[in-house]
Amino acid sequence: MWRLGFLLLATFPALSDVHAQGGPDLADITLPQGFEIEVWSDEVPNARSLALGSAGTVFVSTRRDGRVFALRPRLNDSPELITVARGLKMPNGVAYHDGDLYVAELRRIHRFEDIETALPGVPEPITIVDDLPSERHHGWRYIGIGPDARLYVSIGAPCNVCERQGFGEIVRMNLDGKKREVVARGVRNSVGLTWHPDSGELWFTDNGRDMLGDDTPPDELNTAARDGLHFGFPYCHAGEIRDPEFGGRRSCSEFTAPAQKLGPHVASLGLRFYNGDMFPEEYRGQLFIAEHGSWNRSRKIGYRISLVRMINGRASGYETFAEGWLQNEQVSGRPVDLLFLPDGSMLLSDDHNGIIYRISYSSPLERGLDG
């Protein structure tokens, strides 16, 4: 393992490059009845992945900004902002486990031990991995720590569509970076991993390939019931669409089909199962997905939070939960990742504005309504 003394000294891009001016009118955001949205923090430029510490600290990554932040909640005030690291290359992935913060950048993964105890100071990070692929295309890592207390890392394909060994995978390793192994193959670019709260199964989003038209292929929600499954890329998309370049090499029947097809080019990213007490009972065990939004479609799509309905641990439907960051083809925000706080409310990051929203629910009785 290697110590990093330079992390806090390197430079980072100007805020004007990464922090959109203003933000959406929250009145434009539509939610189911009883739900409300507010700005929880607007101090994290290019806010991306979220992780929750055991003492309530919210850790926030960036991608273009190069910094990682800690946000410590304060009573009747905005959260306290602390810079954990800066000068990193696309530090998109953050995960918290047993007191330690894990941060993934392009080629490396670092561990900050006993991070919450040290704050507002920052412990010297330890590099546990320094040999991830260096290709920048789809090189912003998403990481998570599974119920097996091992670290999972997505390795996106370095292309729109190609056949490259060592890419298009989700890998797993011990928390010290050792004993690395492949969990899933044929995954073009996953920027969201989570685990079912009951079965412990790995679920993940996957962004479909581009340049096959507005409506092809859909993004995918996948589940890996066991290790070693292949999800089709680059030969087959969404379980049934043969790739025009690579599809003749293998049959779609060889691969694992999606648990749920999502919208085409919606850029599905972070996802979480709801296991809190604030939202109505109908939302318990359901799966929320942040959709970052399309960039290559004649009419934009995404820019919302979607909900995948679950029955007996399986996906049974796909619908919109929150929208409004897209109005008449004008984009006012881009959802990235979700996190549920101990009180059951939801945090949502928006890298377009550098905002973290909080979505909460109050019952008709709490709102003073008659029912």
Structural domain includes residue 243: yes
Helix H or strand E encompassing 331 = strand 330-331
Tens of pLDDT along 314-351?
999 999 999 999 999 999 999 999 999 999 999 999 99
The amino acid at 334: R
- Per residue in 180-214, pLDDT (tens digit) is 999 999 999 999 999 999 999 999 999 999 999 99
In the prediction, which pLDDT does 368 show?
62
Angle (CA) 51 54 55, round 5°: 110
* Whole-number Å distance between alpha carbons of 107 and 97: 21
54-64 tens-digit pLDDT: 999 999 999 99
CA dihedral in degrees (169, 170, 172, 175; nearest 10)?
120
- What's the length of the chain? 371
Q: Tell me whether residue 368 is in a domain.
A: no
Query: Per-residue pLDDT for 1 more than 70?
Result: no
Residue 110 falls inside a structural domain = yes
Any domain includes 370: no
DSSP label of 30: B
| Whole-Å CA distances, 208 to 159, 312, 366 | 12, 27, 42
Contact between 57 and 80 (Cβ < 8 Å): no
**Domain contains 134:** yes
Q: How confident is the model at residue 76 (pLDDT cuts 50, 70, 90)?
A: confident
Q: pLDDT grade, residue 22 (50/70/90)?
A: low
Residue 254 lies in a domain: yes
Q: Tell me whether residue 128 is in a domain.
A: yes
pLDDT of residue 237: 98
- 16 pLDDT higher than 50: no
**How does residue 23 score in pLDDT terms, banded at 50, 70 and 90?**
confident
CA-closest candidate to residue 122, choices 86, 73, 150: 86
Q: 285 vs 1, which has greater pLDDT? A: 285
Query: Which amino acid type is present at position 261?
Result: K
Residue 252 near residue 236 (C-beta atoms within 8 A): yes
The domain tally of the chain equals 1
Residue 367 is assigned to a structural domain of this protein: no
- Segment 94-148, tens digit of pLDDT: 999 999 999 999 999 999 999 999 999 999 999 999 999 999 999 999 999 999 9
Residue 169 maps to which CATH number?
2.120.10.30
- Structural domain boundaries, residue 158: 2-361
Mean pLDDT of the chain: 92
What pLDDT was estimated at residue 109? 98
pLDDT at 314: 96
pTM above 0.75, yes or no: yes
Is the model more confident about 371 or about 39? Answer: 39
Selection from 82, 1, 89 nearest residue 41 by Cα? 82
